[in-house]
A and B are shown apart, each in its own frame.
Chain A
């Protein structure tokens, strides 16, 4: 059942469940953060409405900086502003930010140790029709490997709102990953959010959990469908929302592995280097258990609908269900 302590969306499994993109939550959260703290500035690369930074631009035009189509400059201008006491949110599509400007992020942001918040929009294969060039499925890997860099993948629009406000208050260089499509709203405004604290979204009502599923991003809604399905078949699973890939909530990962002895990870990202790899790094040293990873298997994206692409990469209901069945055999 959905964890009652987190006050999640009770309509999650109904037809009329609210849908909203995580980028919208970010845009709304940034305005709130900007209202609280005048040191917050926003920079964008000619994609202001697309990454939903136009809300901030309208509210605080004097603190919005249009950088043009120049992502390398974006990261380093943000670094310079941070050196003067600003908390810059630097946004573009994830493919270019942190894709194209990785070295600028590593050196001028993280090595320099300044509180720049890298905002990567349109991440994952669900960007859909734009095709493989625009589907960032390596961004978690390339950011989490940078020392000091914190990496956040909000599960839905509400969480993106809270996460944006939360990262605005830290000194850490941070990457926040956003998605384009409208996706189901899993949490509510009453659901808490804390950087680095994973959330048990689903736990068996009475029976013990046989599989632990660790997930991030909007695909978690499908993971919860799968959990719901198994619950009805009398099989208990537990679902952990790992919205913070780094610093990872190691205690939660280890506790889940000890409880279930089987772990499945789910992410709209390459299997290599992403959430699954990060979880495996924790478990292999602390409590190795059988593991499966759902994710893109070393191929590029392509054009199609989000549903078609998620299905192709085993990130739909059937794909995830089969992997969970497999690990229980």
Chain B
């Protein structure tokens, strides 16, 4: 069954609320990354409120799907989405990157229940998701019903290890692996095609053995449908190339790579909140 128009409307509102909490959390911390978390809000919302099988009250539930956030620096969107889903109290979002907080600057598995793997150093998440998917297949066969999600940044795929893992996912025909890459076209030093060109990007993933779906990463219906399709593809891992606009939701910051790695100051926060409340 596909996502309904009512669900889409509800998730769009949810994604907007998540964006508001992302910018608040970052402004309070005074440190952290802004562009990626904002542009992945729609994907995270769809995953946690529509696609994934999980239980915020029982984060260790064995039957849950697993989500590996490979580009750990966009964790504000993960934290805020988890708080909205009920993993922890929203008040904790004020402690992002603070000494003693569960919300480490880059996610740490042992600090926050519901985080599947610690990440930050780029390029190793896909390998871990491949390992998880393989382990489940050894234990439960090809039709366990459990899915393994790996979220990556596009700049991150400069890393050679990503392609080592991609080769292996293709070799092992991991139909239980669904990847989403945040194709926002920016990385710290500039635009991806200037730093280290990725195109023809879909062709590359396809050549490595993936079922590739390119979508508008801000269209909830397209995101939900692509993930549903990924679940239905049995003989291959799925790569969803989510075309996103960096810092989506705050027009003044959109497409500007300078927002990759900095938080909003107080006056900038107001600009963002005004834009998001419209």
Cβ of B129: which chain A residues have Cβ within 8 Å of it? 80
- Chain A 242-283 near chain B by CB (<8 Å), digits 1 or 0: 000000000000000000000000000000000000000000
Of the residues A70, A81, A88, A103, contact of B167 by C-beta under 8 Å: A70
A52-71 CB contact bits vs B (8 Å, 1 = yes)?
Answer: 00000000001101011010
Instruction: Evaluate contact between A107 and B127: CB separation under 8 angstroms.
Output: no
Q: Which of B117, B130, B165 contacts A112 (CB 8 A)?
A: B117
Given the complex, which residues of B lie within 8 Å of A73, measured CB to CB? 127, 130, 161, 164-165, 168
When distances are taken between beta carbons in the complex, the residues of chain A under 8 Å from B109 are 112-113
Complex interface: chain A residues within 8 A of B116 (CB): 83
B128 and A70: CB pair below 8 A? no
Name which residue of chain A comes closest to B132, CB basis. Answer: A80
Query: For the complex, what is the distance from the CA of A80 to the CA of B126, rounded to whole Å?
Result: 9
Known: A76-B124, A79-B117. Is A84-B136 also a contact (CB below 8 A)? yes
> A76 is contacted by which of B108, B120, B131, B135 (Cβ under 8 Å)?
B131
| B145 within 8 Å of A (CB atoms) | no
29 A-B Cβ contacts within 8 A? A62-B138, A63-B138, A68-B164, A70-B167, A72-B123, A72-B127, A73-B127, A73-B164, A73-B168, A76-B161, A77-B130, A79-B117, A79-B127, A80-B129, A80-B131, A80-B133, A83-B116, A83-B117, A83-B128, A83-B132, A83-B135, A84-B135, A84-B139, A85-B139, A86-B138, A108-B118, A112-B117, A113-B109, A113-B110
In the assembled complex, B134 has its CB within 8 A of some CB on chain A: yes
Q: Is the CB of A80 within 8 A of B128?
A: yes
> 5 tightest CB-CB pairs across the interface, nearest first?
A80-B131, A76-B127, A84-B135, A80-B128, A73-B164
Complex contact B135–A108 (CB within 8 A) = no
B118 in complex: contacting residue of A67, A103, A107, CB < 8 Å: A107
In the complex, B251 has a CB within 8 A of chain A: no
The residue from A67, A85, A103 contacting B135, defined by CB atoms under 8 A apart: A85
A residues 77-123 near B (Cβ < 8 Å) are: 77-86, 88, 103-104, 107-108, 111-113
The residue of chain A having its C-beta at the shortest distance from the C-beta of B160 within the complex is: A72
Q: Are A108 and B134 in contact (CB under 8 A)?
A: no
Q: Is the CB of B167 within 8 A of A68?
A: yes
* A77 near B128: Cβ-Cβ < 8 Å: yes
B121 at the interface (CB under 8 A from A): yes
Query: In the assembled complex, which residues on chain B have CB atoms less than 8 Å from the CB atom of A65?
Result: 134
CB-defined contacts of A79 to chain B, threshold 8 Å: 117, 124, 127-128, 131
**Given A68-B168, A77-B130, A112-B117, 4 more pairs with CB closer than 8 A:** A70-B161, A73-B164, A81-B135, A85-B139
In the complex, which of the residues B118, B134, B139 contacts A77, with contact meaning CB atoms closer than 8 Å?
B134
What is the CA–CA distance of A201 and B66 in the complex, to the nearest angstrom?
49
**Are the C-beta atoms of A77 and B138 separated by less than 8 Å?**
no
- Give Cα A85 to B121, complex, Å: 23
Known: A73-B165, A83-B128. A41 touches B135 (CB 8 A): yes
Q: Tell me whether A107 and B121 are in contact in the complex, defined as CB-CB below 8 angstroms, given that A76-B161, A77-B128, A77-B165 are known contacts.
A: yes
Residues A107 and B120 in contact in the complex (CB < 8 Å), given A62-B138, A68-B167, A73-B164: yes
Cβ proximity bits B217-249 to A, threshold 8 Å, 1 near / 0 not: 000000000000000000000000000000000
